[in-house]
Amino acid sequence: MKSIAALAGLLVSMSATAYQPGELILRSGAATVSPDTGSSALFLDGSELAGTAVDVEDGTALGLTGTYMLTGQWGVELVAASPFSHDIEVQGLGQPLALGDTSHLPPTLLLQWYPRLGGSPLQPYLGLGVNYTAFFDEQVDGAANELFAALGATGEADLSLENSVGLAVEAGVDFSFGQDRRWLLNMSVLWMDIDTEAEVHVPGVGTIAADVELDPLVTVAGLGYRF
């Protein structure tokens, strides 16, 4: 009888750990976007400014994801976040020039695969999908406007970045705990293909443009719950 009870307890534990069709998994945590920036030289009205490039700094925000389990091993995840903010610099003009900053939102849709690990509290997963990055609230730094004024600008410069659509790849792991193992400690890493064109319109001077590849790693650490 004790053996039967132990086996029944093991089966209950395994079923509580395994993700089930129809479950909704919500996760949230600190998300850091670390761009692997690659940039063309800057061009002023089509003329190359040799030796120049754009660099984009890291940004951290609240990451939010929701996964709907289609089966016990396949799910669809929507990645969202509060706005990220990034400082933008220009290299190649002697000292780095603080050009400005931008905010962005990176909604991403992923198909996820959850391999079975029996009754283990660890549940890894992989995801593949598409990312849409929307840039907004672009601002030109005061130091950059001072430089443009010295070059003959007749007003403040305006910065704009094109929105981007690209591939997204994800790897993550949940550690389940608590009653019925429904609470989750979560860590994940996403790579996103983000390309944009940055333009600075300087009244009286011209338009400065560069093609920028951001291609960031997004690291997330936080909590989740299975409903």
State the CB neighbour count (10 A cutoff) for residue 77.
Answer: 22
- Average pLDDT over the chain reads 90
The SS3 call for residue 215 is coil
pLDDT digits (tens, 9 = 90+) for 23-70: 999 999 999 999 999 999 999 998 988 999 999 999 999 999 999 999
Please check the confidence at residue 219 and state whether its pLDDT lies above 80. yes
Distance in angstroms (rounded) separating the CA atoms of residues 54 and 40: 8
CATH code for the domain defined by 2-226? 2.40.160.20
C-alpha distances out from residue 91 to 56, 101, 134, Å = 11, 15, 24
pLDDT tens-digit series, residues 61-115: 999 999 999 999 999 999 999 999 999 999 988 788 899 999 999 999 999 999 9
**Residue 10: both structure tokens together:** 């093991």
Question: Integer distance in angstroms from the first to the last C-alpha of the chain?
Answer: 33
Kindly list the domain boundaries of the chain, sorted by start residue: 2-226
Enter the pTM of the model. Answer: 0.85
